[in-house]
A and B are shown apart, each in its own frame.
Chain A
Amino acid sequence: MLDKSKISSQWGRLSWFEKGCFVGVISVIVLAVVGPWIAPHDPYFVDLDKSLLPPSSEHWFGTDVDGRDILSRLLFGARSTLLAPLGVIVFAASVGTVIGTIAALNPGVVDELIMRLCDVGLAFPALVLSIGLASALGPSLRSAIIALALTWWPGYARLVRSLVLEVTHKEFIESAKVLGVPRRKIVFRHILPNALNAMYVQTTIDVSAVILVISGLSFIGAGAQPPSSEWGAMVTSGRDYMLTGWWTVVVPGIAISLTAMLFNLSGDALRVLNDPTLKQSRG
């Protein structure tokens, strides 16, 4: 599904701004991967003498209440902050695709049942589930991931279902059927690739949303726990020191926000590429 020549031609169609967003996303991912190696200080080392130092040349983003360098914590925490949403999305998207496709290809009772199941999943308050799971399994990033994955897949199931339905009724599928192409082949080689095109957009934008939700969960204590360097947990630990050390809260907050924004804008750019009729001139 990744076509080299197509990718390079699509790349050319992006504006400078959009290219910047993609570059930004890739940079964040790269930073997450190599973070631990390039961090200037040890993120776990507690040095109370250096507590709550403002940003300086030695500590670019200052230190937290335990004297730990915020920049290093940020770099270490990038992994958990990014991996978590990716895990959620990968799960939700795969499960959702399978279920959505089944629903779309089997209209009638099966479809109806699956749709009601999705309704239940969507109506169920995600945060309560996360808190519940956090309570049941002990609060951790893992419980948050599981909870969110369970709440997110119905959205994908619905999306994939409507995409598949749309493609299934297109004429080129009808002609494939008439020509006697076996059903499985139709599904995998024709329907799915076309339907899934729109998914890339949704997944990118969803990563942005999940990043925010997970850090929110960490904030209320149902996700990553301090002293984890997950960015949401960093905000939690910094909360009490906002007045004396605003950087403990502001910096990780900006990091979360920036990452979310980059993913979001990249998703937007993908959407415009996908559907030229939506071209919103950015000048």
Chain B
Amino acid sequence: MIRLAFRRLLMTPPVIFSIVTLVFFMTQLIPGDQARIAAGRDATIEQVEAMRIKLGLDSPLYIQFGQYLDRLLHGDLGTSVFTYRPVLTDLADVLPSSIELVCLAMIINLAISLPAAMLTAAYRGRRIDRTVRIFVLFGGTVPVFWLGLTLQNLFGARLQMLPIAGQHKSGEIVPRRTGATTVDSLLSGDFSIFLDSLTYVILPALTLSCAFIAVLTRTLRSSMIGVLDSDFVMVARAKGASNLRVLVRHALPNAAIPTLTIVGMQVGWMLGSTILVESIFGRQGIGSYAMTAVLQKDIFAVIAAVLILGIAFTLLNLIVDLLVPIIDPRLRRSHG
């Protein structure tokens, strides 16, 4: 088992390296002269050339790549050609907000999928099974942006229950520790701001989670159905365990194991698809950051964004792969 984990660990850097390489050369395809964009529209030709030399854009591509890798290994993600700030700083500004969003979306996902899967598996074939499944399916096949717009319209504009956009009430100042308004307000002890910031995050998180809820519920449900038919579940009943206990203590843990991989991937996918929700609800985040960077041909920013997303995805998968044998005792040692 350790061997397998080791192998996976070993494979991760090459994968990440390939991602970086891919992105670097992909950004070269984007039209536009980077030096010119950086120098500004009104720059003179000399200024553009000076900028070109300054950014090292005059060297051949492979040298640029080498330089980039070198800096990367030293933790320098480069400087944005737009903000003139280190990309790392820019990222630190926007990433926490996305993480906040994804965390809440994942919590909502689990909070709905777990009971839904248990309910529909336990009452398979009955009316409640069909009703819940149709509901969940609906949430999953509705286009994300449409759902966001509708929710925004409904709760924000018409019912005025929740804010329409943004991340916090303007005028509220929260000492910035992590960049995620919810966490920061908790850390500074201001509970009312915490609650308030929650209202800003809840609609986007709900919108983001719907498609994932559909997939997770379905997967977990079919896994549960398989488990509920097994012998040990009947034995648990023969011991006098209540239906609820059988579901939660026996069926769910066994059914959850194969779905762990999916959950891991879902977190990665969520991170990668925040852009839609961010654009509708006016939030900052890595999605809009990446999009702007691409459109502005801000190479370092693009690479950094892709890097973060790619690494996050790969690492999450790695963690899940390492976690499964810990949870499933059968996989702990190679046995005959």
Contacts and interface: CB of A to CB of B under 8 A. Distances in A.
Interface of A: 116-117, 119-120, 122-129, 131-132, 135-136, 208, 212, 215-216, 219-220, 232, 235, 239, 242-243, 246, 249-250, 253, 256-257, 260-261, 264-265, 278, 280-283
Interface in B282-329: 287, 290-291, 294-295, 297, 302, 305-306, 309-310, 313-314, 317
A112 to B, nearest CB: 8
B140 to A, nearest CB: 8
Contact of A123 (B143, B268, B273, B291): B268
Interface in B252-283: 268, 271-273, 275-276, 279
Q: Is the interface of B mostly helix, strand, loop or mixed?
A: helix
B153 A128 contact: no
A131 B225 contact: no
B314 A253 contact: no
Contacts of A282: 125, 130
Most chain B C-beta atoms within 10 Å of own C-beta, residue among A120, A125, A235, A243 = A125
Contact of B310 (A125, A220, A257, A281): A125
B249 interface: no
Nearest to A132: B294
B273 A124 contact: no
Contact of A124 (B27, B140, B211, B310): B310
Interface stretch (B11-19, B170-178, B186-194): B11-19
A245 to B, nearest CB: 12
A116 B14 contact: yes
B31 A220 contact: no
Interface residues on B, range: 35 or more
Interface of B: 11, 14-15, 18-19, 22, 26-27, 29-31, 124-125, 130, 137-138, 140-146, 149-150, 153, 157, 211, 222, 225, 268, 271-273, 275-276, 279, 287, 290-291, 294-295, 297, 302, 305-306, 309-310, 313-314, 317
B59 to A, nearest CB: 22
B146 A253 contact: yes
B146 A249 contact: yes
A257 B141 contact: yes
A242 B153 contact: yes
Contacts of B279: 220
A220 B15 contact: no
Shortest beta-carbon contacts, A-B, top 9: A253-B146, A125-B272, A281-B125, A260-B141, A261-B141, A125-B309, A123-B313, A136-B29, A219-B145
Q: Is the interface of A mostly helix, strand, loop or mixed?
A: helix
21 contacts: A117-B18, A123-B314, A124-B19, A124-B306, A125-B309, A127-B273, A127-B290, A135-B31, A136-B29, A136-B31, A212-B141, A212-B211, A219-B276, A220-B276, A243-B153, A243-B157, A249-B149, A253-B143, A253-B149, A253-B150, A283-B125
Given A128-B306, A249-B146, A280 B141 contact: no
Contacts of B306: 124-125, 128
A120 B22 contact: yes
Contacts of A256: 143, 146
Contacts of B310: 120, 123-125
A264 B137 contact: yes
